[in-house]
Amino acid sequence: MSLEIVSSNKSFGGWHKRYKHRSSSLNCDMVFAVYLPPQAEQGARLPVLYWLSGLTCTDENFMQKAGAHRLAAELGLIIVAPDTSPRGEGVADDANGAYDFGLGAGFYLNATQQPWAKHYRMYDYVVDELPALIEANFPVSDRRGIAGHSMGGHGALVCALKNPGRYQSLSAFAPIANPMNCPWGEKAFSNYLGEDRSRWREWDASVLILDATQKLPILIDQGDRDDFLVNQLKPEALQAAASAASHPLQLRLQPGYDHSYYFIASFIDDHLRHHAQFLKG
Amino acid sequence: MSLEIVSSNKSFGGWHKRYKHRSSSLNCDMVFAVYLPPQAEQGARLPVLYWLSGLTCTDENFMQKAGAHRLAAELGLIIVAPDTSPRGEGVADDANGAYDFGLGAGFYLNATQQPWAKHYRMYDYVVDELPALIEANFPVSDRRGIAGHSMGGHGALVCALKNPGRYQSLSAFAPIANPMNCPWGEKAFSNYLGEDRSRWREWDASVLILDATQKLPILIDQGDRDDFLVNQLKPEALQAAASAASHPLQLRLQPGYDHSYYFIASFIDDHLRHHAQFLKG
């Protein structure tokens, strides 16, 4: 698995780099971004935070807009941001080019239905292929955290809850917390996974948390002026399930904040510190 | 002059807002962005930093990518970011739609040549019209700073050097420091101002600084891996002129940094503190 460098920018004493590679799980070329703090050039082996973005995003949104490099440089955290779906010619897309399904909307699962199953295996990519690539090519320790926003918050929760021991820290911004029961999730799951709703349960954080064997503490921030809060995000479902399962979850409702990267930037430092607390030392 | 709100996002306890208005100096509708720190809702009258962006930008680039809200919220600075040219149907553009002239490339001057003179009066807009609008509509003090990047660094230098006493602080990232003597500046000035190079001198910071009556200290950051450094930016010309005129200029060559917003984000805190030092107290 070889990496081709796409671009490189010095940032807060470290480097923001983008790489292209052939993905075997997705059957296409993919681009991901990595932030390497200054400590990466000093021989240290550093923990990695995987960031999963939301609908319509690529690897670029978080790196450009979240303002995360400043504190990552201070804390010595590597951040890896993959794309949000397979890409390229031959990758099936929503028939109407909708923003909430197909390209830019992989939902971090392994599709079982055609034509999606051929490429849409973002779960395998994020949990296995990409970490193997990172661990082979960058000075990383064996500590991994995962976080994300909206569809990516759903992805972070599901990846961690399905893989006890694989991640040492977990957080989310405005996650799609109960995708089986919201329009975005119902559209994605019925197409990627088929109409049998029992198969959807293994991709829904509010279900998975009921049987989680690793009680990884979860930090979630959610804006109370987020236009998607009531119909799509449903953090109260996850909170109820976490409470029933005695799973540690801190859900912070942030007054006045919306679904944008201004919201993420406002609280990213708290999340980086949350991850550093579990990933370092 | 009425303001129409375009969007509003809570950010670091304050608000990022975008407004549309009819500009009398530019003869078109314009959009600008303002960051209002939390102190703006607490009855304080706050200093304003005007940020001028570079080629191809709008009001959005700085607000989304510079990571400036965090410290502006702490320091109690209002930041105003105008667009980089007049906009809309009827506004002349480069015949080939080039990125470095016409739309997105107003160069913060008052054009004297047709068809440009009808709309391209960004100098009047930035120095007079926009501050009057801000001062009529927001809780601002009488302290003003100005800063910018690339073409906007040129703009900030020129606006401050031409108006002694109007700004109390000044800084720039990778400014076009001697536009008379670089390809970007020669293209813009010959079209906007005509072929008589003696008329160009009043829009070139490296000339204006020789006769500046207000010795406003200038902070400039410049990446030494900036692809435009040698052919377009020429900070050494400004440094030589400042030195000849005994004008206080701190030019910091930052090793490894390029021309991107990752560079700006890396040093924006230093610039905000530079401005706060002159604008507060």
How far is the alpha carbon of B27 from chain A, nearest alpha carbon, in Å?
32
CB contact under 8 A, B64 and A67: no
**Enzyme catalytic residues of A:** 150, 226, 259
**Active-site residue, selected from the candidate residues B11, B25, B226, B247:** B226
Q: Which residues pair with A17 in a beta bridge?
A: A8, A34
Please tell me the distance from the alpha carbon of residue A188 to that of residue A232, in angstroms, as a whole number.
12
CB contact under 8 A, A13 and B266: yes
How far is the alpha carbon of B175 from chain A, nearest alpha carbon, in Å?
19
- Based on the residue annotation, tell me whether B259 is a catalytic residue of this protein: yes
Does B197 score more than 90 pLDDT? Answer: yes
pLDDT number for residue B205: 98
Alpha helix (H) residue ranges in B21-138: 60-65, 69-75, 122-124, 130-137
The tens-digit pLDDT sequence of chain A (281 residues) is: 689 999 999 999 999 999 999 999 999 999 999 999 999 999 889 999 999 999 999 999 999 999 999 999 999 999 999 999 999 999 999 999 999 999 999 999 999 999 999 999 999 999 999 999 999 999 999 999 999 999 999 999 999 999 999 999 999 999 999 999 999 999 999 999 999 999 999 999 999 999 999 999 999 999 999 999 999 999 999 999 999 999 999 999 999 999 999 999 999 999 999 999 999 86
pLDDT number for residue A44: 86
Residue A222 in tokens: 């959610």
Task: Identify which of A9, A16, A262 has the shortest CB distance to residue B10.
Answer: A262
Q: Which A positions 241-270 lie with beta carbon below 8 A of chain B?
A: 256-258, 260-263, 265-266, 269
User: Which of B101, B124, B254 has its CA nearest to residue B179?
Assistant: B101
Domain boundaries, chain A: 3-279
CB contact under 8 A, A10 and B64: no
Residue A261: list chain B partners with CB under 8 A: 64
> How many other C-beta atoms can be found within 10 angstroms of the C-beta atom of residue B135?
14
**Active-site residue, selected from the candidate residues B247, B259, B271, B274:** B259
Dihedral of alpha carbons A266, A269, A274, A278, sign? positive
Residues near B14 by beta carbon (within 8 Å), at least 6 away in sequence? B35, B36, B37, B38, B39, B40, B41, B69, B72, B73
Does B281 score more than 90 pLDDT? Answer: no
> How many other C-beta atoms can be found within 10 angstroms of the C-beta atom of residue B72?
26
Residue A253 in tokens: 């409702």
Does B266 score more than 70 pLDDT? Answer: yes
Integer-rounded Cα Rg, in Å, for chain A is 17
Burial class (CB in 10 A: 0-12, 13-18, 19+), A111: buried
Task: Identify which of A12, A223, A263 has the shortest CB distance to residue B266.
Answer: A12
Please tell me the distance from the alpha carbon of residue B10 to that of residue A225, in angstroms, as a whole number.
9
pLDDT number for residue A36: 98
Token match 């990172």: residue?
A134
* Mode of pairing for the β-strands spanning B249-254 and B28-36: unpaired
Alpha-carbon distance values, B116 to A62, B192, B245 (Å): 38, 6, 34
pLDDT digits (tens, 9 = 90+) for B159-189: 999 999 999 999 999 999 999 999 999 999 9
pLDDT number for residue B44: 86
pLDDT number for residue A43: 84
SS3 B279: helix
Q: What count of CB pairs under 8 Å joins A to B?
A: 61
pLDDT number for residue B103: 96
pLDDT band at B199 (very low <50, low <70, confident <90, very high): very high
- Based on the residue annotation, tell me whether B226 is a catalytic residue of this protein: yes
Interface test with B, best of A12, A69, A266 (most B CBs within 10 A): A266
Residue B183 in tokens: 């390809």
Report the Cα–Cα distance between both ends of chain A, in Å, rounded: 31
Contact at 8 Å (CB) between A68 and A272? Answer: yes
Residue A69: list chain B partners with CB under 8 A: 262, 265-266
DSSP code at position A15: E
How far is the alpha carbon of A67 from chain B, nearest alpha carbon, in Å?
5
Give the type of residue at A254: Q
- Based on the residue annotation, tell me whether B150 is a catalytic residue of this protein: yes
SS3 A72: helix
pLDDT band at B1 (very low <50, low <70, confident <90, very high): low
Helix, strand, coil percent content, chain A, rounded in steps of 5: 40, 25, 35
Percent of chain B residues topping a pLDDT of 90: 98
Residue B261: list chain A partners with CB under 8 A: 64
Does B230 score more than 80 pLDDT? Answer: yes
pLDDT band at B43 (very low <50, low <70, confident <90, very high): confident
Dihedral of alpha carbons A191, A193, A198, A202, sign? negative
Residue B47 in tokens: 């200093």
Please tell me the distance from the alpha carbon of residue B103 to that of residue B239, in angstroms, as a whole number.
30
Annotation: CATH topology of B3-279:
Rossmann fold (3.40.50)
CB contact under 8 A, B262 and A16: yes
Residues near A113 by beta carbon (within 8 Å), at least 6 away in sequence? A191, A192, A193, A194
